[in-house]
Chain A
């Protein structure tokens, strides 16, 4: 009964459309579904949607790769070195709670407006979940397996690539998916707050120029984009790590 899930949303959309038609709403903050659809079509037709999407996604993906990978690498290194873990414990605990948007003024000062500032903030935001979940993943590895690698005489590289990464992979990828969602949130946030580019900026611009239908069109599109991104990563997870992920489940 999959279609039952669509009854309520469809009903709401139709009701909104009916109300707009019957009462002839012309508001600065509301728009009829048909107007939103039309605005979306316009954005698509003149190509501007692609430009903004490109700007936002470029920042999100670059930040995700930079910060996310740095987080995972540090997590693996810390997982294998208790000394480094102790040394970095307080710096990490002090920096981690900083809300990522709070570092905006700093990076704005360093980089000015544009991609670099936005990417730096996204990287900062994506770094932490990957570090924390990555650390938990690495420290959750069966200690027996690490002893096996010692007894067999595996070197550091072999230990990381043959034991640590495969053992932690499912959870590391989970961390990556979480960071991907964060990267989109932070990129749009930065664009809304400060950076004159991308979907977030156009969203604000539409609101400032009193064009709610454009604003809602972009808003819905951002939701769709986030959903698509997650679905894509989920698909990749099953395709890439299917064997490693499922081989650990049956007992």
Chain B
């Protein structure tokens, strides 16, 4: 699959002149953006510029005042079952009274998976995110990184075409973060999943993305879109030492400095 095809028909998600106000304040203004099938797109921008709101629009948790958000050829209405959302605050997004396998099971119950099939699916999913030995633990008994893995497993249980991730690793330490970055890349690659990834971390955006969308604040607008021409599979050491990586980091860094000033 050639990731650089920019055929318009290939767009899985499209924002068309989307504007949104919340509490009487314009949050997003005239957003035009396309996400292709199987594309890994990263969104960066200063705090409060509307990154999370952009994600919630795709998920169908909020709806635009003007323009439309298209998913798979249809205007987004209620949340679709093949769009999975990974929240930043994983500790609040997990059911504290259910074990790890119970939390994964919730997604399968919601999708109407017959009971006999669930146990095996749950085991496979927990195995995929490295939690096979923690199936019977409650979220409170898991570390932050494990809780975020669990949330990812629950989202994968939806069999998603799109993963929406809202600063998923923002609260994790550097080591855990790198491991999870590579896991998400692997999952997206093997599942042919599109990923819409919001982050504060410019390096993370370049490392993961096919493209990086930079937002400008007040109200939120798409300022610029950068193509990331780095070979895949990416590697924590060699990719980050690639001259193109360093060039992009410089460009993005300057860009963000300029928008924040």
Contact = CB atoms under 8 A, between A and B. Distances in A.
Interface of A: 142, 144-145, 147-154, 158, 162-163, 166-167, 243-244, 247-248, 250-251
23 contacts: A144-B87, A144-B89, A144-B93, A147-B61, A147-B93, A148-B93, A148-B95, A149-B110, A150-B79, A151-B61, A151-B83, A151-B85, A152-B79, A153-B81, A153-B110, A153-B111, A166-B95, A167-B95, A167-B97, A243-B97, A250-B138, A250-B141, A251-B140
Interface string B71-111: 00000001111011101010011011100000000110111
Q: Is the interface of A mostly helix, strand, loop or mixed?
A: helix
Contacts of A158: 109-110
A145 B95 contact: yes
B109 A162 contact: yes
Interface of B: 59, 61, 78-81, 83-85, 87, 89, 92-93, 95-97, 106-107, 109-111, 138, 140-141, 158
A97 B59 CA distance: 43
Contacts, number: 63
B95 A151 contact: no
B59 to A, nearest CB: 6
Contacts of B85: 147, 151
A222 B138 CA distance: 42
Interface centre among B97, B107, B140, B141 (most CB of A within 10 A): B97
Contacts of A142: 92
A140 to B, nearest CB: 13
Contact of A154 (B83, B89, B110, B138): B110
Given A158-B109, A247-B140, 14 more contacts: A144-B92, A148-B95, A151-B84, A151-B85, A152-B79, A152-B106, A153-B110, A162-B109, A166-B95, A166-B97, A244-B97, A247-B97, A247-B138, A248-B140
A166 B96 CA distance: 10
A166 B93 CA distance: 15
A145 B92 contact: yes
A167 B107 CA distance: 17
Contacts of A251: 140
List the 7 closest pairs (A to B, CB-CB), nearest first. Answer: A152-B110, A144-B92, A244-B97, A154-B110, A153-B81, A250-B140, A151-B85
A68 B87 CA distance: 36
Nearest to A154: B110
A219 to B, nearest CB: 42
A128 B138 CA distance: 34
A148 B97 CA distance: 15
B233 to A, nearest CB: 29
Contacts of B80: 153
